[in-house]
Structure 1
Amino acid sequence: MAIFEKTPQTKAILDDTEKLVCTIANAQNINKHTEYILRVHRGVSKEDKWNVSHRYRDFAALHGALQAARRDLPLPPKKLLGNMHPSFIAERQIALQNYINEVLKHTILALSLNVRCFLDPSNYPANLTEQALQTVSIALRGEGRYELKGPLPEIGWRIRKHYFMVTDTESHANCLLCWQSYGPDRHLCDKDLQTAFKCLQNLSHPHIDQILAIHNLETGAYVVRKVHETGTLRDMIYGTEYSKSYLSKYGNPKTRKPLTDGQIAHYGLQLLQALKFLHDKGLPHGHIHPGNIAIENQKVLLLDIENTLLGVANVHRPYIREHRKTSSAEAIDVYSFGRTLYEMALAETLEEPYCDIFPCNMSNDLVSVLRLCLSSSSCKHGMPTIESLLRHPLFSRPLVMGNGVHSDGATSLRVPSQLKEEIKMAVAVMEARLKAEQKLVRGAKREVRIQEILGSEEEMRKQKRRAKKRESVWKSTSSLAETVRSQSVSTASSPTPPHHTSDAPACTNGSSSTSASSAPLASPVAAGGTQQTKVTNEAPATNGRSALLSAICSFDKTRLSRINSE
């Protein structure tokens, strides 16, 4: 690289695979209609967030655009009357939040241009296709060999990749042109990129598709290949046509045709041979999935080998960020290879970063390969190498050794030593960015766990406080009940005061009637008044009553002995 030569700054710095999280924070009435404030957050960075407002009709328009995927999405119905009432707006806000959560749950919808334009209109303008068409038209005028026929629908998942049908003016054959903007991992200068493209155009391998033309421009590059009428391996699995839009083909496919174990071993071996060849030349693929593989005459043709040089992100990057050891270029290819075999075997994509449980009807050899590539243990502690996978029993059985699998076709890829070093440095920078993102993801998970622990500890403290409060209330209630019980017992054990009859004479000794009628007087009369009792017993029966009353009235309370109540 020259000293004053710089990589152009017009490349797209956004990673289109970054996960978006949306929360409907509020709603406001503006000009007799309701607008909902959406708070959007990108990736794991806390600072990368913004607000965007949408009306209900914007949600309805998004829903209409996503109908091609044939997904059952819970958009709340439109209401003509009473739609400005606060209670209705609150209910609709909850319903729209559920709707956007369901949309973002499906990766194929979350990565679509319609959803990105809806949530991030500043970075994803709706006229990306028109810009690409204008750029390609100008570029082909200077090239002269290919004539532009027209754009194709969005047949791929990439937002900044556009497809056009062109005609070769020399052979008059239809060809497929792909225009791709540069990604955040493009680190080669223009001169090195041109040299690398020339090397790719001269590449020869029986399991790598030929590049007819490839040119780099200021904002991206275009590649011309022949049209594969049967489509890609993914089209074969889901029984679709290559020219249909990506959402309609793979959003919710009705037809699913999983491959047999023999086909998986056959195609898997060819794919490993192509990957081994590229890694030996110092050029990792980095983008293995069924959409980048064509099948012709039972032979694998690997596509999009230029993606690493263009610096675009892997479709599996959201899952790779969850891993600790899947950060090297070879480990990424091995992990992507495992996910490709999984989709070939089950005719469905793996929606989780790991897979430890497989169907019982799978062969042991296939399960062994999938565990090596996709199990949580392998993803956390280290992936196998491509060389070790080539020696696996699944790819070394006699079933896959024939039919021209080990083709003797010429293989060649000449890369200058200086360019090889530049590519190696670019791959190292890409791996460093991935490791940094993986570290951020681990930090975010750790923070979530800490918050959960703190939340649980706070909840435990609250429960302890509630338990102490209940215990104090119980103790106070128990003491009050004991007090009431003791008072009732003491009241019940007290002697009954004597009953005064109406014919009793008044006391004449000067003491009050209250003292005469108090309960403690009965006992001293019986104990201290022994003499009076004898007199009463000796007196005639007619005078006994008068004598008793006289003794009571003449009773002297000073004769009572003091008793310590304590």
Structure 2
Amino acid sequence: MAMFDRRREHKQTFDESRTINVTIRESSNVGGHIEYRIEIWRSPEPEVRYSLTYRYSQFAHLNFALRSPHVTLPVLPPKKFFGNTDKSFVNDRKVALQNYMDELTKHPILRHHQALKNFCDPINYCANQLENGMMSVAAVLRSGGRLELGNTMHSIGWRYHKQYFHVCQVTPASTTDSTASVASGGAGSTATGDSVSTTGSASAVRGSSSSTTSNTSSPELTSAALAHTLHVAPPKASLLLWWCPYGVDSTMHLRDVHGTLTALVQCQHPYLATTLSSVATETGVCVTMPFYPQGSLRDLLYGARPDQSYIVKYNSNKSTSQSLACGISIRSAAVYGRQMLTALNFLHHKSVGHGHVHLGNVVVVEGVCRLGGAENLVLGLPHPLRFLFTYVKSLNSIQAIDVYCFGHMLYEMAMRRQLSTPTCEVFPADCPPLCRSVLESILSPEAGKNGMPTIDGLLTHPFFNEIPLHSHGRVSLHMSASVKQAVLTAHQTMLSRLLSDQKKVRLQKRIQKAEALIAQQSYRFTGRNKEANKKTGSKSAGATPPSSTITSPG
């Protein structure tokens, strides 16, 4: 059993949620073509930089790849056939390209586009990793043989390395119950006795007692694939399977990942989404869940189909018009908020927490709101709003993070748009008083400095405590002491890195203030010298030239 105690070496080494900053440093004429050297770094680590060189045609190719319905792109400088190497033209185009990249990287939706990620970071975002994910899913399914892999759902989420598939549960071809080796608590064997056939974009995985696959075809399973029992699902029922490698905050042993996922699969709560199965390997986690045709709560808010790409579904131009027609009423927001707070309160009383609260992880089934996505914290994945966490000093616990994300979720339901800033100083005038009171207690600058309210405190707020709960099903979540300790350790690892990033952000703010003060004093000194020189009629001798003025970055 020593192989279960090893830590995984296969995990992401970068935070996908961090904001990408692009600066075009210089341009040069190489072989009659103008090349632009761009410098890229991720907030809040400006000292970690790398450079790439692109031509204008590659910027144009990026702009073409970003095109999609209902998406308004920033203006790309036009192409010029003659005189495109003139120094003045190159300088003007350089400025225009800089503005173009700034708008893309700061856009709340477009910054998650796969084409932009490939352009800015071709090493960490490459097609080979997506192919490896497909191979990992096929290997996991071969170990059980009870699922048939259907079409790939491309880019329905914001994570580049998280892949989604349509699957359905099928009856094994063999009458024996050999596939029951993936039962709960047991270790799945290596991929043997199964065959994989691929046709177009669909891959079928069926049990075959006559065919044999060598262990070398599935290296991710050689050190133990840990599987959990599938809940009984109707034959040929449409299911959703997703695969994702471990994130930058992942520190759990494979044994502890298995124990935590087992507890989440067996968890019962009326306001927690059902997970049918979970499989943990050394390279990532594969989770199967019911497929909801109506999509997530965010899909309902924006009137989008769940199989559309993330960019098309949640682009602001489309969401504004559609959310007005099929948005969520304040009463429904209060009902859903009460149900989600009840689910979060249950998890925190079990010392689990959630860490990934947002509308994309919420589904509504027969008027009942169910929260999912708790597996993301086990994988060590960052929250999509983590880049905002670094600006909120009071986010120093997993409960504070869940409450803060709940505030963003309530704001999105009430205002029908996402809040793109860490805090909100002025709320719209049409926001109801009780809803405004909740939002101010979470998203105001004072809450960001002094502390977040507790989940128990929010449940007693008049906006929620008057909402009756009609679902009173059985609740249970059983975890061993060792697994609980592993979960707490994972929380501390995530919080430690967040605290470090918060310190870096505060240091950058102090540096920017100092640079702005120096620039202001330098400007005043230059102005006084010019006035003195005018009076004496001589040229300024000690004035600081404008090019040496220090300005605040950004």
Deviation at 1:197, TM superposition (A): 1.0
Deviations 1:298-322 (A, max 9, x none): 1011111111110000111111110
| 1:26-59 C-alpha deviation (Å, 9 max, x unpaired) | 1222333222111112222233101101122211
Report if aligned partners of 1:16, 1:111 keep a CA contact under 8 Å in 2.
no
**1:192-224: CA deviation from partner (whole Å, max 9, x where unpaired):** 111111111101110111111101122211100
Aligned residues: 469
8 A contact 1:20–1:42 mirrored in 2: yes
- Aligned pairs for 1:14-163 within 5 A: 14-68=14-68, 70-163=71-164
Q: Does residue 358 of the first structure (1) align with residue 427 of the second (2)?
A: yes
List aligned pairs for 1:180-191, cutoff 5 A. 180-191=244-255
State the SS of the aligned residue for 2:322.
coil
Structure-2 separation of matches of 1:308 and 1:128: 21
Label 1:82 to 1:362 Cα distance change in 2 as closer, same or farther (>3 A): same
Matching of residues 196-275 of structure 1 within 5 Å: 196-252=260-316, 253=318, 254-257=321-324, 258-275=327-344
Q: Is the 8 A contact 2:270 2:370 kept in 1?
A: yes
Q: What SS class does the counterpart of residue 354 from structure 2 fall into? A: coil
1:349 matches 2:413: no
Comparing 129-138 with 409-418, greater Cα deviation is found at 129-138
Match of 1:547 in 2: none
Aligned-partner SS, 2:123: coil
By how many angstroms is 1:88 displaced?
2.2
How far residue 98 of structure 1 moved from its aligned partner, in angstroms, is 1.3
> Take 1:458 and 1:329, find their aligned partners in 2: how far apart are those partners?
45
Indicate if the aligned counterparts of 1:286 and 1:329 stay in contact, CA closer than 8 A. Answer: yes
Q: Which amino acid aligns with 1:159?
A: Y
What code does the residue aligned with 1:168 have? Q
Q: Distance in 2 between matches of 1:325 and 1:2?
A: 40
1:280-313: per-residue Cα shift (whole Å, max 9, x none)? 1111111111111001111011111111110000
Per the alignment, residue 314 of structure 1 pairs with 383
Deviation by residue 1:396-432 (Cα, 9 ceiling, x = unmatched): 22xx21xxx2421001000101211121122112111
Q: CA deviation at 1:111?
A: 2.5
Query: SS where residue 413 of structure 1 aligns?
Result: coil
Q: Is the 8 A contact 1:19 1:42 kept in 2?
A: yes
| Residue type of the alignment partner of 1:60 | A
Q: Which residue of 2 aligns with 1:384?
A: 453
Bigger Rg, structure 1 or 2: 1
Residue number in structure 2 paired with 1:418: 482
Amino acid at match of 1:291: G
Say whether the 8 Å CA contact 1:133–1:151 is kept in structure 2.
no
Matched residues in 1 for 2:494 and 2:39: separation?
A: 30
Displacement of 1:110 = 1.6
* One-letter code aligned to 1:152: M
Residue 473 of structure 1 deviates from its aligned partner by 4.4
Pairwise CA RMSD of aligned residues? 1.7
How high is the sequence identity, in percent, across the aligned residues? 35
Instruction: Tell me, in whole angstroms, the C-alpha distance in 2 between the residues paired with 1:272 and 1:4.
Output: 35
Q: Relative to 1, partners in 2 of residues 1:147 and 1:56: Cα closer, same or farther, differing over 3 Å?
A: same
Deviation, structure 1 residue 123: 1.7
Structure 1 pair 467–82 and aligned structure 2 pair: CA distance change class (3 A)? closer
Aligned-partner Cα distance in 2 for 1:433–1:305: 20
Contact 2:140 2:279 in 1 (8 A): no
> Given that residues 148 and 170 in structure 2 are in contact (C-alpha distance below 8 angstroms), is that contact kept between their aligned partners in structure 1?
yes
- List runs of 5+ in structure 2 lacking aligned partners: 172-234, 539-554
Aligned equivalents of 1:321 and 1:72: distance in 2? 28
Relative contact order: is structure 1 or structure 2 higher (C-alpha 8 Å, sep ≥ 6)? Answer: 2
Q: How far apart, CA to CA, are the structure 2 residues paired with 1:313 and 1:23?
A: 25
Bigger Cα displacement from structure 2, 388-397 vs 77-86: 77-86
Aligned residues of 1:238 and 1:250 also touching (Cα < 8 A):
yes
Runs of 4+ in 1 over 6 A off after TM superposition: 1-4
Mapped partners of 1:275, 1:140: distance in 2: 32
Select the structure that is richer in helix.
1
SS in 2 for 1:225: strand
CA contact (8 A) 1:117 1:126 kept: no
CA distance in 2, matches of 1:449, 1:15: 27
Does 1:286 pair with 2:350? Answer: no
Cα deviation, residue 128, structure 1: 3.3
Letter of the 2:496 counterpart: A
What is the Cα deviation at residue 471 of structure 1? 4.2
Structure 1, residues 464-514: CA drift from partner, whole Å, max 9, x if none? 33333344449xxxxxxxxxxxxxxxxxxxxxxxxxxxxxxxxxxxxxxxx
Following superposition, the deviation at residue 238 of structure 1 comes to 0.7
